[in-house]
Amino acid sequence: MPVITTPVTVITGFLGAGKTTLVNRILREAHGERLAVIENEFGAVGVDAQFLVTDKDETVIQLANGCLCCTVRGDLARALDQLARQSDAGAFSFERVLIETTGIADPGPIIQTFLAETAILTRFHLDGVVTLVDAVHGMEQLERVENRAQIAYADRLLLTKCDLAEPAAQAALTERLGEMNPRAQLLPVDLQRSDLREVLALLQDARAYTFDYVAPEELLRLRTRVGLTQPARSQRLRPVAAGMHSDDVVSCVFESEAPLGLERLNVFFDALMQRFGTRLWRFKGVVYAEHQRQRLVVQGVQSLLQINGGSLWRAREPRRTVLVFIGQRLDRAWIIGALRMCEAGYVAEPP
């Protein structure tokens, strides 16, 4: 019988994108959900004074609407363990955890905590990363590497302040966000006037780190955004057709209908992480592997990689590999070429 773990959503976004507005509403208003909201030392500054915790230890406060507020001034794994222990002791109960990062925080280390800390996975699982983007100032904020990282790690991008943005500017920002992160859902949201239950629904059920599953709609979204709407042939593999921009964020999508050899694929991933190091922010997808009845699901954050068996390929189901890579100054041609060499039956072209 599978163990039921508590889903965790990371809420991030650059300064002024609306995280404090969202968290204050969650802590203040009645919405019928039992949530634990984890604030870090800097992220808690904007939260209403009645919710602030000022001592030096992690402390949990039970709020009138049934939610919990927990400030973290130390290790995230320890804070989650504290929540679990207090819940087991009957102090309170919660159904979901929201972690708010600071406006200048890189969410990468938080994601790595869930991939590397096996003790956490017995009680919690990372559902996804939701990044708020300011529709008015979002384009200029892309100059900050912290903001670009927040967008790269996102599984959902929520566009805020749309009512204040010029339509042309918002359209340009939307296009740019799609180029930077073709795998993330991009949704407008009104944090001030929308029903809070509708907003909370946008933070839930991303299933972005479910290690045996990648949503079909996510793969379809990838294929549509990069123009891969027809069955691909190996000789037609190509990177994302990104626009000409001065920043160094690169997204690259590889698709192939040829099965990939696992031994060569493992060599590729080792070389990938060694070549790009911390510049490789996020990589994810489904692999059609040689001699494997199951699809393989790839989840990677910087130097951490997990490959797990997913569902079985059905008898007449089209089998293909779809992988997306997002990071700084990635060499698209090298990634595409190296993966092509993993295809079964690959023969090097003559010079």
Which CATH number is 176's domain given? 3.40.50.300
Residues 10 and 42 in one domain: yes
Q: Which residue has the higher pLDDT, 73 or 245?
A: 73
Residues 94 and 155 in one domain: yes
Residues 17 and 164 in one domain: yes
153-175 per-position pLDDT tens digit: 999 999 999 999 999 999 999 99
> Is 167 within the bounds of a domain?
yes
Q: Which two tokens stand for residue 200?
A: 């909370």
Which CATH number is 221's domain given? 3.30.1220.10
pLDDT at 310: 87
Residues 171 and 295 in one domain: no
Whether 349 has a pLDDT exceeding 80, the answer reads no
Residues 230 and 103 in one domain: no
User: Can you tell me whether residue 62 is helix, strand or coil?
Assistant: strand
User: Can you tell me whether residue 291 is helix, strand or coil?
Assistant: coil
Residues 120 and 188 in one domain: yes
pLDDT at 297: 92
pLDDT at 143: 87
Q: Which residue has the higher pLDDT, 21 or 230?
A: 21
Stretch 57-65: mean pLDDT, rounded?
67
Residues 274 and 180 in one domain: no
Within the chain, strands assigned E span: 6-13, 35-40, 59-62, 68-72, 96-100, 124-134, 156-160, 185-188, 249-256, 280-287, 294-301, 304-312, 321-328
Q: What are the angstrom distances between the C-alpha of 111 and each of 125, 157, 300? A: 10, 17, 10
> Is 210 within the bounds of a domain?
no
Beta strands 124-134; 96-100: pairing state? unpaired
Residue ending a domain, choose from 201, 232, 264: 201
Count how many domains the chain has.
Answer: 2
- Of the spans 102-106, 268-272, 293-297, which averages the highest pLDDT? 268-272
pLDDT at 345: 84
For residue 2, name the pLDDT band (cuts at 50, 70, 90).
low
Sheet strand arrangement including 185-188: 59-62, 68-72, 35-40, 96-100, 6-13, 124-134, 156-160, 185-188
Residues 27 and 173 in one domain: yes
Residue ending a domain, choose from 201, 224, 241: 201
> Is 94 within the bounds of a domain?
yes
Residue 179 and residue 252: Cα distance in Å, rounded? 9
Residue 173 and residue 194: Cα distance in Å, rounded? 22
Residues 174 and 220 in one domain: no
273-306 per-position pLDDT tens digit: 999 998 999 999 999 999 999 999 998 998 889 8
Element (H, E) at 244: none
DSSP of 91-122 = S---SEEEEEPPTT--SHHHHHHHHH-HHHHT
5-43 per-position pLDDT tens digit: 999 999 999 888 999 889 889 988 999 999 998 876 543
Stretch 70-92: mean pLDDT, rounded?
83
pLDDT at 233: 32
DSSP of 155-223 = SEEEEE-GGGS-HHHHHHHHHHHHHH-TTSEEEE--TTTS-HHHHHHTTS---TT-TT---HHHHHHHH
Residue 121 and residue 174: Cα distance in Å, rounded? 34
Contact 22, 109 (CB under 8 A): no
> Is 348 within the bounds of a domain?
no
Host domain of residue 90: 6-201
Residues 230 and 272 in one domain: yes
User: Can you tell me whether residue 33 is helix, strand or coil?
Assistant: coil
Q: Which residue has the higher pLDDT, 257 or 4?
A: 257
Contact 99, 8 (CB under 8 A): yes
Contact 240, 264 (CB under 8 A): no
Residues 14 and 161 in one domain: yes
Q: Which residue has the higher pLDDT, 134 or 59?
A: 134
Whether 261 has a pLDDT exceeding 70, the answer reads yes
> Is 314 within the bounds of a domain?
yes
194-214 per-position pLDDT tens digit: 999 999 999 999 988 876 655
Residues 20 and 152 in one domain: yes
Residue 190 and residue 100: Cα distance in Å, rounded? 18
Residue partners of 70: CB distance under 8 A and separation at least 6: 36, 37, 38, 39, 53, 58, 59, 60, 61, 79, 82, 83
Residue ending a domain, choose from 177, 201, 225: 201
> Is 227 within the bounds of a domain?
yes
> Is 222 within the bounds of a domain?
yes
Q: What is the pTM of this model?
A: 0.80
Whether 263 has a pLDDT exceeding 90, the answer reads yes
pLDDT at 3: 63
